[in-house]
């Protein structure tokens, strides 16, 4: 049976309500019972007759009444809280509070406060905006909140996520292209070549690609890989292996590697392919925030 059906049934709703209230009432009873005087118990302030280590005795000194009442106040508070806010099964609470409602209210308040600022910056060309310290600082905060999880807090990237602080761009580093990448996202597709060229062909292409970047590789394998590259790879990466920003195909002559430049990493990329995904932020952030975010990223590559 579907777990969602089980836990959305009326039985579990009432089970949670009953269990929660039973725990509160049980705590109330336990406090009341423990505060009662037990027949035969020593009077307050007298020793109970328990002795340890020869002369260490236990006195009957109960908690102060004000301390005891704090427990009762806590239980009353819990009942009031559960009446006002959701906490008893599916009951919504008298105030009708939900996390979604609070989130929407906070977003609306933030939009009202900051929208005029975003709108003013939206009229400034991105190149000029990238030189405005205040605008760049706002863009940096946006980057830390929404982009650092993939690209790193310093924007220097992670395996599979490009370094945004250098001059190497998969789709182009001009302001309009950067903004388009953030607004609409990117979907990269490096096909797998294992079944096409076989193990030997993958080894040859790996050697050739590493030689293009000036890395150590077997010269004989690289020579054989050059012909394979012209047949299967030049269509995307170019006959000179300089890359194609229209397709997002990287330049293979430099030592900037999205997934790593070791022989094992390059071989894995050729054999199994790569499928990168940059999510679109148009609906999530809006064009005005993306404009500031793009200004910050553009400023990084200008430094």
Domain carrying residue 16: 3-84
Indicate the pairing of strand 47-52 with strand 56-59.
Answer: antiparallel
What is the spatial distance between Cα 190 and Cα 247, in angstroms, rounded to a whole number? 10
The dihedrals phi and psi of 279, each to the nearest 5 degrees, come to -70, 150
Q: Token pair for residue 248?
A: 């997002």
Is 297 found in the same domain as 226? no
Is 293 found in the same domain as 151? yes
What is the spatial distance between Cα 237 and Cα 252, in angstroms, rounded to a whole number? 8
Q: How many CB atoms lie within 10 A of CB 217?
A: 21
Is 200 found in the same domain as 184? no
Q: How many CB atoms lie within 10 A of CB 299?
A: 21
Q: Token pair for residue 219?
A: 């010269």
What is the spatial distance between Cα 55 and Cα 239, in angstroms, rounded to a whole number? 95
Lowest mean pLDDT among 11-15, 122-126, 178-182: 11-15
Q: What is the mean pLDDT of residues 11-23?
A: 92
- CATH code, domain with 228: 1.10.760.10
Q: In the structure, what pLDDT confidence band is assigned to residue 56 with cuts at 50, 70 and 90?
A: confident
pLDDT per position as a tens digit, 226-250: 999 999 999 999 999 999 999 999 9
Of 169, 139, 104, nearest in space to 290 by CA:
139
From residue 129, give the alpha-carbon distance in Å to each of 38, 126, 132, 197, 229.
78, 5, 5, 48, 42
Is 199 found in the same domain as 184? no
Is 23 found in the same domain as 151? no
Is 165 found in the same domain as 151? yes
Look at residue 44 and tell me whether its pLDDT is greater than 70.
no
Residue 243: its pLDDT value, please? 95
Percent of the chain whose pLDDT exceeds 70 = 94
Residue 39: its pLDDT value, please? 64
- The tally of domains found in the chain comes to 3
Q: What is the mean pLDDT of residues 138-166?
A: 95
Is 234 found in the same domain as 289? no
Q: What is the sign, positive or negative, of the torsion defined by CA atoms of 237, 239, 242, 247?
A: negative
Look at residue 3 and tell me whether its pLDDT is greater than 70.
no
User: Is 171 a domain residue?
Assistant: yes
What is the spatial distance between Cα 294 and Cα 176, in angstroms, rounded to a whole number? 9
Instruction: Say how many residues make up the chain.
Output: 303
Q: Where are the alpha helices (DSSP H) in 36-96?
A: 65-84
Lowest mean pLDDT among 53-62, 94-103, 194-203, 219-228: 53-62
Is 293 found in the same domain as 157? yes
Q: What is the mean pLDDT of residues 70-92?
A: 93
Q: What is the sign, positive or negative, of the torsion defined by CA atoms of 285, 279, 178, 257?
A: positive
Look at residue 36 and tell me whether its pLDDT is greater than 80.
no
Residue 288: its pLDDT value, please? 94
Percent of the chain whose pLDDT exceeds 90 = 77
Yes or no: say if 287 and 151 are a contact pair by the CB < 8 Å rule.
no
131 half-sphere exposure, CB direction, 13 A CA radius: 4
Q: What is the mean pLDDT of residues 53-72?
A: 83
User: Is 96 a domain residue?
Assistant: no
Q: Average per-residue pLDDT in the chain? A: 90
What is the spatial distance between Cα 275 and Cα 282, in angstroms, rounded to a whole number? 22
Residue 120, Cβ density class (10 Å: 0-12 exposed, 13-18 middle, ≥19 buried) = exposed
Residue 248, Cβ density class (10 Å: 0-12 exposed, 13-18 middle, ≥19 buried) = buried
Look at residue 293 and tell me whether its pLDDT is greater than 60.
yes
Q: What is the mean pLDDT of residues 72-83?
A: 95
Is 77 found in the same domain as 139? no
Look at residue 252 and tell me whether its pLDDT is greater than 90.
yes
Q: What is the DSSP letter of 98?
A: -
Is 288 found in the same domain as 172? yes
Residue 60: its pLDDT value, please? 76
Put simply, whether the predicted model's pTM sits higher than 0.85 gets the answer no
Is 242 found in the same domain as 117? no
Is 221 found in the same domain as 258? yes
Look at residue 1 and tell me whether its pLDDT is greater than 60.
no
Residue 302: its pLDDT value, please? 81
What is the spatial distance between Cα 267 and Cα 209, in angstroms, rounded to a whole number? 10
The residue out of 26, 50, 84 marking a domain boundary is 84
């Amino acid at each position: 049976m579907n777990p969602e059906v089980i836990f959305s049934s009326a039985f579990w709703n009432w089970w949670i309500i009953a269990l929660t209230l039973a725990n509160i009432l049980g705590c109330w009873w336990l406090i009341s019972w423990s505060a009662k005087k037990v027949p035969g118990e020593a009077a307050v302030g007298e020793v109970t007759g328990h002795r340890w280590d020869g002369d260490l005795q236990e006195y009957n000194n109960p908690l102060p009444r004000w301390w005891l009442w704090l427990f009762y106040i806590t239980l009353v508070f819990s009942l009031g809280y559960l009446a006002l806010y959701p906490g008893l099964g599916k009951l919504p609470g008298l105030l009708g509070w939900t996390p979604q409602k609070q989130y929407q209210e906070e977003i609306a308040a933030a939009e009202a406060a900051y929208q005029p600022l975003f709108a003013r910056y939206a009229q400034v060309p991105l190149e000029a905006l990238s030189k405005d310290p205040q605008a760049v600082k706002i863009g940096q905060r946006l980057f830390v909140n929404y982009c650092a999880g993939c690209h790193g807090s310093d924007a220097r990237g992670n395996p599979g996520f490009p370094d945004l602080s250098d001059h190497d761009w998969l789709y182009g580093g001009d302001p309009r292209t950067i903004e388009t990448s953030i607004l609409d996202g990117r979907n990269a597709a490096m096909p797998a070549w294992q079944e096409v060229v076989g193990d030997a062909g993958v080894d040859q292409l790996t050697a050739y690609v590493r030689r293009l970047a000036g890395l150590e590789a077997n010269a004989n394998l690289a020579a054989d890989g050059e012909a394979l590259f012209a047949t299967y790879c030049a269509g995307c990466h170019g006959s000179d292996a300089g890359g194609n920003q229209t397709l997002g195909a990287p330049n293979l002559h430099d030592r900037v590697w999205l997934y790593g430049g070791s022989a094992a990493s390059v071989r894995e990329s050729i054999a199994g392919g790569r499928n990168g995904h940059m999510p679109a932020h148009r609906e999530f952030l809006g064009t005005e925030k993306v404009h500031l975010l793009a200004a910050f990223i553009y400023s990084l590559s200008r430094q």
